[in-house]
Chain A
Amino acid sequence: MSELEVREAITRAHREEWARVVAALTRRFGDLDIAEEAAAEAFATAVARWPTDGVPANPGAWLTTTATRKAIDRLRRENKRDHKQQEAQMLHDDAPPEPLGAIDDERLRLIFTCCHPALAMDTRVALTLRMVGGLTVPEIARAFLVQEATMGQRITRAKAKIKAARIPYRVPSAEDLPVRVSGVLAVLFLVFNEGYLATGPDTDPVRHDLTAEAIRLTRLIRTLMPQDGETTGLLALMLLIEARRTARVSPTGELVTLDEQDRGAWDAALVAEGHRLVRERLAAGVAPGRYQLLAAINAVHTSARDIRDTDWSQIVALYDQLVRLDPSPIIALNRAVAIAELDGPEVALAAVDRLEDRLAGYHAYHATRADLLRRLGSSQRSREAYDQAIELAGNSAEIAYLTRRRDQLG
């Protein structure tokens, strides 16, 4: 096996097996710290040994065995084994085996522990990326533009709270499951959005590492809980957005809006998979939740060969359903964008203006107004709105786009 092949095998094992190894060790030793450190050591050992010893037949089992030995060595070395194991009662697990199969069940336990509602949202995101996604602390810190030490402390504090407050290591009971899954999905959507609309002047406008990680983890949840409609909906939504990723930023780093995108550059395989998942949810005949509706809206967009073929009345109808579920001003703003296509910019502008007191600090509100005013021929007011949008926008591709549109005004 060539050096390159071994390196690829290690990368693949890290992607596919990290969560499994951490979950198996957490189950055995009842301690997230020990599990994480031992898993990291096992992967370091693989990097050192596989190039000479060869890649084992079952990398996951090799890594779990190696990590288990590392953990036991560490506990012996620290001569605190009994003490640690007493302490380990915090992550006890009292639940009978779930019908999902032991291994998948363990990864699911890990995800639910990292996304526990008693942890702050940004902590849940960081902990999930570390414990389930296997990202390093510097990687996570970079992704969220905070100091490495800050991110390290956040993760350490979270693990300490899990231990001290005895956050259980288990999949929630059936009655709590829907609520807790929605928290997990919110974490994954946050990771995806941060990747999709990365903020900061020095970051890439699209962080493919984050969008890919969010999709991978959502796929994992879907494998573990195929019946959960919102999980399928979120996966479909992410795939349909991800499909347009390369068409969305121009070679010069400027945002390309939906109406100007080269539809031939969309990833046809991702579009097809997203559509299949949306159809699967439609066939289920269950009232769709927020992610399923957003996915359906994106399915309509990606079904049109041309912006002019877009079925705007269906999009507005889907937004109407969405507004009933989620009456947030941001949904209302997006609905107004669709209304502009169906009923004209004047009607849309009236709807957008009604959102001012709630969205005045949000760049997309001003960007939408700017575009509608431009279409209505109000150059001066449009320019002012562009100025405000540029001031508030954080994504470099968006700023480039808004600046050009403003400068094009007569």
Chain B
Amino acid sequence: MQYLFSVIDDGAGLATPTEEADIDAFNDRLRAEGHWVFAAGLGSPDSATVIDNRRGEAVVTDGPFVESKEYLAGFWIIEAADLDQALKLAAEGSKACNRKVEVRPFL
């Protein structure tokens, strides 16, 4: 069972060196214990572009699809037996990156 951990930033910006080190340590643990699938940080919402090609003509819009104070700063995809295990890992991930983490299951 895979879960997406979304890292929610509310304006703190890039991770500090301490946060980076803690995230690396957490990632090492995920790998060592077999939970690791993939993880990445994302460019800021300023760097986003939205494309809408539902009507046959691609409309390009500058900026994120929704403007909000909180935004997706990065994510983990992890493997866990169930939600309890995922929530435990997310709690550690949140501590490591010093941000809120949303947990959602893959279908």
A-to-B contact residues, CB < 8 Å: 92, 94, 116, 118, 164-168, 172, 176
Judge if B58 is at the interface, Cβ distance under 8 Å. no
CA distance A166 to B87 in the complex (A): 11
Residue from A94, A168, A176 within 8 A of B83 (CB atoms): A168
Q: Tell me which residues across on chain B come within 8 A of A94, comparing CB atoms.
A: 81
In this complex, the member of A118, A165, A167, A176 whose beta carbon has the largest number of chain B beta carbons within 10 angstroms is A165
Residue from B82, B103, B105 within 8 A of A168 (CB atoms): B82
- A98 shortest CB reach to chain B, Å: 16
Residue of B nearest to A173 (CB): B84
Decide yes or no: A118 and B81 within 8 Å by CB, A164-B107, A165-B105, A166-B105 being known contacts. no
Residue of A nearest to B81 (CB): A94
CA distance A94 to B107 in the complex (A): 21
- B78 shortest CB reach to chain A, Å: 13
Q: Are B107 and A168 in contact (CB under 8 A)?
A: no
Q: Tell me which residues across on chain B come within 8 A of A166, comparing CB atoms.
A: 1, 82-83, 105
CA distance A176 to B87 in the complex (A): 12
Q: Are B87 and A118 in contact (CB under 8 A)?
A: yes
CA distance A166 to B2 in the complex (A): 10
Q: Are B83 and A165 in contact (CB under 8 A)?
A: yes
Residue of B nearest to A176 (CB): B84
- A301 shortest CB reach to chain B, Å: 40
Interface size of B in residues (CB-CB distance below 8 Å)? 10
Q: Can you report 24 residue pairs joining A to B where beta carbons are below 8 Å apart?
A: A92-B82, A94-B81, A116-B83, A118-B83, A118-B87, A164-B105, A164-B107, A165-B83, A165-B103, A165-B104, A165-B105, A166-B1, A166-B82, A166-B83, A166-B105, A167-B82, A167-B83, A167-B84, A168-B81, A168-B82, A168-B83, A168-B84, A172-B84, A176-B84
B-to-A contact residues, CB < 8 Å: 1, 81-84, 87, 103-105, 107
CA distance A172 to B84 in the complex (A): 9
CA distance A403 to B21 in the complex (A): 64
Residue of A nearest to B104 (CB): A165
Task: In the A-B complex, list the 8 residue pairs whose CB atoms are closest, starting with the nearest.
Answer: A168-B82, A165-B105, A166-B82, A165-B83, A167-B83, A166-B83, A166-B1, A168-B84
CA distance A116 to B1 in the complex (A): 19
Q: A118-B83, A165-B83, A167-B82 are in contact. List 8 more A-B contacts (CB 8 A).
A: A92-B82, A94-B81, A165-B103, A165-B104, A166-B1, A166-B82, A168-B81, A168-B84
Q: Tell me which residues across on chain A come within 8 A of B1, comparing CB atoms.
A: 166
CA distance A166 to B3 in the complex (A): 10
Residue of B nearest to A164 (CB): B105
CA distance A391 to B83 in the complex (A): 44
CA distance A172 to B85 in the complex (A): 11
Residue of A nearest to B88 (CB): A176
Residue of B nearest to A162 (CB): B83
- B20 shortest CB reach to chain A, Å: 29
Q: Tell me which residues across on chain A come within 8 A of B83, comparing CB atoms.
A: 116, 118, 165-168
CA distance A172 to B87 in the complex (A): 13
CA distance A167 to B81 in the complex (A): 10
Q: Tell me which residues across on chain A come within 8 A of B103, comparing CB atoms.
A: 165
Q: Tell me which residues across on chain B come within 8 A of A164, comparing CB atoms.
A: 105, 107
- A90 shortest CB reach to chain B, Å: 8
CA distance A176 to B105 in the complex (A): 22
Q: Tell me which residues across on chain A come within 8 A of B105, comparing CB atoms.
A: 164-166
CA distance A172 to B81 in the complex (A): 14
- A113 shortest CB reach to chain B, Å: 11
Q: Tell me which residues across on chain A come within 8 A of B87, comparing CB atoms.
A: 118
- B69 shortest CB reach to chain A, Å: 23
CA distance A309 to B1 in the complex (A): 62
- B24 shortest CB reach to chain A, Å: 27
Residue of A nearest to B3 (CB): A165
Residue of A nearest to B105 (CB): A165
CA distance A85 to B107 in the complex (A): 16
CA distance A165 to B107 in the complex (A): 9
CA distance A342 to B79 in the complex (A): 59
